[in-house]
Amino acid sequence: MKQFGGPAIFLDRDDINTDEIIPAKYLTEISKTALKPHLLEDLLLDGIPYDRQSEKSQEAQVVVTRANFGCGSSREHAVWAFEVNDINIVIAESFARIFRQNMFNCGILAVEFRKDQLDQLFGMEGDIFISVDLEKCELTGFSNLDSQDSLVFQFQLNQFDQELVSAGGWLAYADTNY
Amino acid sequence: MGKTIAEKIFEAHLRDKPSPENMVLNLDVVMCHEITTPIAIIDLMEKGMDQVFDKTKIKAVIDHVTPAKDSKTATQGKIMREWAKRHDIKDFFDIGANGVCHALFPEKGFVRPGYTVIMGDSHTCTHGAFGAFAAGVGTTDLEVGIYKGVCSFRAPTTLKINISGDLRLGVVAKDVILAIIKSISVNGATDKVIEFTGTVVDSFTMSSRMTLCNMAVEAGATCGICLPDRVTAEYLWPFIQSDYPTIDAAVEDYKKYHSDPDASYSDIIEFDISRLTPQVTYGYKPDLVKDVKEMEGTPVDQVYIGSCTNGRIEDLRDAATILQGRKLAENVRGVVTPATPLIYTMALEEGIIKTFMDAGFCVLNPTCGACLGMSAGVLAEGEVCASTTNRNFNGRMGKGGMVHLMSPFSTAAAAVTGVITDPTKFLS
Ligand code: SF4
């Protein structure tokens, strides 16, 4: 089974929409890999364009963000843009329904944490690495500054979402079951 | 325990319950457009699964960028065209017969009370206006819908919004839904169905109900839904004549879908619109809404009238009432796109197209066009657009542009003054 986790980036804003994750002008692409260079191209944090070219951003495999992530357009391109950039898990306080479904449909994780848990993650110093134990539904955040500084959280996955991840997505699941 | 309309529709379409929270539903209609469908088609082909579950239940259109603007969009159209031909999909609307999906498909009578509908488009919630469960989905859900005719959803919870009061002059469905989104916020209805009820909804035409349901997703809702009644039956009559002896019989039958009096809701909101004045968005989120009066005087560079929210004949008529005998203000570009060929034809016959042209508007063919910043009316950095569309996200109509969402009345008022303007002063 697929491994989840890796270096994390933090997008500290509510309501990040799918137009910001991948602008409409790239929706004319008919291959997922063509989306790769354009991830988060129109994202503003505190009114300032997000620096997606930074080394940290390029290396990220985990996104930690706030409430109502992925709202707006239904474009699955937003999920694919993460997928082709090797991002395999998004952690947020809440997700827009279509985005969350698209994540699990592609066999990747959208995990919800409480606000106070997210505050703790956001509060960690240094570069953060996230590891996930899917069997135990356990997520650990490590800091590069202090090997003692780690945070462990339990999370909940809907049983069906978990099955989709195990099956490798909704198409494979539906093909077998319906 | 009674059931809501959404629960009744779910029950009637239940195919499987893969977990206590999830329900896999049989689908009555799978709608497709050229932006999200080609990747699904290609993926199915690559996996040796290039089939459609029922060619009569698939409705397809090229609407977002039409005519094609470049080789890439031309290829998207080509993939759709060849796929429709290969599978003998009769309800495929290509150039000359195409229009904005959520305006075109209802006009063809494809959506009926009690139906389940999906499309790879977030504004699929528009079709809930007919008493259907209609939800926007991503490409994978669409792909499975095309291939197997099913889609999975969490069991529905419903938020009921009961709208009452008398609408003031110049206040229309768009103002009502903007005020609702402001009050419940952009995720006030996430994972929920919004059931719109009350005397205001009862008095709304299908066009106004579609405007209301169209923006339900802007509050995070899975679907907006109106209870099917005489207005619904009269609209659908040309298509349901062979199913019912009379309109009365259809109205009576539709009652079976109505929510039971003891149905349970996550919340019930009473919304009195008697004091509501024209509304407008500011900033980059659709819940950032003010009274037009508070924004008066804000200069605009372009006005855009069209889209699945407000590109129907009623909307064009509203705008034309203000544009009649007036001209676009200096330095304002006007773009109008009737949402379907039928709407275009009606607008021509009613002289509305002439009114727009005399005012100095550019009249486009039916298309999504500038609504999502892909073609035909994209904004430059720093430009401002008064628009009848549904999203004001950063970059939505062009990188660095600002979109103010408002009604067709308010947009027309901005067109002739060059600044955001309360439209009521032009109405009597
Ligand atoms: S008009 Fe705009 S919102 Fe409606 S379907 Fe087209 S792009 Fe989407």
pTM over 0.90: yes
- Report the complex ipTM: 0.89
Residues of A in contact with B373 (CB under 8 A): 23-25
Smallest CA–CA distance from A26 into chain B, residue: B374
The phi and psi torsions of A17 (rounded to 5 degrees) equal -100, 170
pLDDT category, A48, cuts 50, 70, 90? confident
Q: Is B158 a residue whose pLDDT tops 90?
A: yes
The region of weakest confidence among B135-149, B225-239, B391-405 is B391-405
- Cα angle A41, B223, B233 (rounded to 5 degrees) comes to 135
pLDDT category, B103, cuts 50, 70, 90? very high
Which of B389, B396, B403 most suits a substitution to test ligand 1, by most atoms within 8 Å of the C-beta? B389
- B10 in Cβ contact with B21 (< 8 Å): no
The phi and psi torsions of B335 (rounded to 5 degrees) equal -130, 130
**Among A84-88, A108-112, A157-161, B103-107, which range has the highest average pLDDT?**
B103-107
Which of B93, B101, B405 most suits a substitution to test ligand 1, by most atoms within 8 Å of the C-beta? B101
Q: Is A40 a residue whose pLDDT tops 70?
A: yes
pLDDT top residue among A52 and B318: B318
What pLDDT, on a 0 to 100 scale, did the predictor assign at position B221? Answer: 95
Q: Is B408 a residue whose pLDDT tops 70?
A: yes
Work out the mean pLDDT of chain A and round it to a whole number: 90
Q: Is B220 a residue whose pLDDT tops 70?
A: yes
Ligand 1 center to residue A77 CA distance, Å?
A: 16
pLDDT average, residue stretch B49-70: 95
Task: Kindly list the distances between the CA atom of residue B405 and the CA atoms of B128, B291, B324, in Å, as whole numbers in the listed order.
Answer: 22, 12, 22
Q: Is A63 a residue whose pLDDT tops 90?
A: yes
What pLDDT, on a 0 to 100 scale, did the predictor assign at position A74? Answer: 85
Q: Is B201 a residue whose pLDDT tops 90?
A: yes
pLDDT one-digit tens code per residue, A139-153: 999 988 776 778 899
pLDDT average, residue stretch B176-192: 95
Ligand 1 center to residue B132 CA distance, Å?
A: 20
- B212 in Cβ contact with B271 (< 8 Å): no
pLDDT category, A72, cuts 50, 70, 90? confident
Work out the mean pLDDT of chain B and round it to a whole number: 96
Q: Is B362 a residue whose pLDDT tops 70?
A: yes
Residues of B in contact with A169 (CB under 8 A): 140
Q: Number of residue pairs across A and B with CB atoms under 8 Å?
A: 145
Phi-psi region of B19 (alpha: psi -120 to 50; beta: other; left: phi over 0): beta
Burial letters B189-200, b for 16+ CB under 10 A, else e: bbbbbbbbbbeb
User: Which value, in Å, is the radius of gyration of the alpha carbons in chain A?
Assistant: 16
Which of B66, B371, B391 most suits a substitution to test ligand 1, by most atoms within 8 Å of the C-beta? B371
Residues of B in contact with A166 (CB under 8 A): none
The region of weakest confidence among A124-133, B288-297, B316-325 is A124-133
Write out residues with Cβ below 6 Å of ligand 1.
Answer: B 64, 100-102, 121, 123, 307-308, 368, 371-372, 389-390
* Cβ contact B136–A74 (<8 Å): yes
* Cβ contact A98–B139 (<8 Å): no
pLDDT average, residue stretch B370-385: 91
What pLDDT, on a 0 to 100 scale, did the predictor assign at position A107? Answer: 87
What pLDDT, on a 0 to 100 scale, did the predictor assign at position A1? Answer: 59
pLDDT one-digit tens code per residue, B316-346: 999 999 999 999 999 999 999 999 999 999 9
pLDDT average, residue stretch A44-69: 90
Q: Which of B20, B64, B187 sits opposite A94 (nearest CB)?
A: B187
What pLDDT, on a 0 to 100 scale, did the predictor assign at position A29? Answer: 84
Helix axes A159-167, A97-105, angle to 10 degrees: 40
Tell me which residue has its CA closest to atom 6 in ligand 1: B368
pLDDT one-digit tens code per residue, B77-90: 999 999 999 999 99
- A165 in Cβ contact with A44 (< 8 Å): no
The region of weakest confidence among A159-163, B199-203, B404-408 is A159-163
pLDDT average, residue stretch B127-151: 96
What pLDDT, on a 0 to 100 scale, did the predictor assign at position B15? Answer: 96
Task: Kindly list the distances between the CA atom of residue B185 and the CA atoms of B131, B192, B196, B287, B304, in Å, as whole numbers in the listed order.
Answer: 24, 13, 16, 5, 25
Q: Which of A28, A73, A169 sits opposite B122 (nearest CB)?
A: A73
Burial letters B274-303, b for 16+ CB under 10 A, else e: eebbbbbbbebbbbbbbebeebeebebbbb
pLDDT top residue among B374 and B401: B401
What pLDDT, on a 0 to 100 scale, did the predictor assign at position A166? Answer: 86
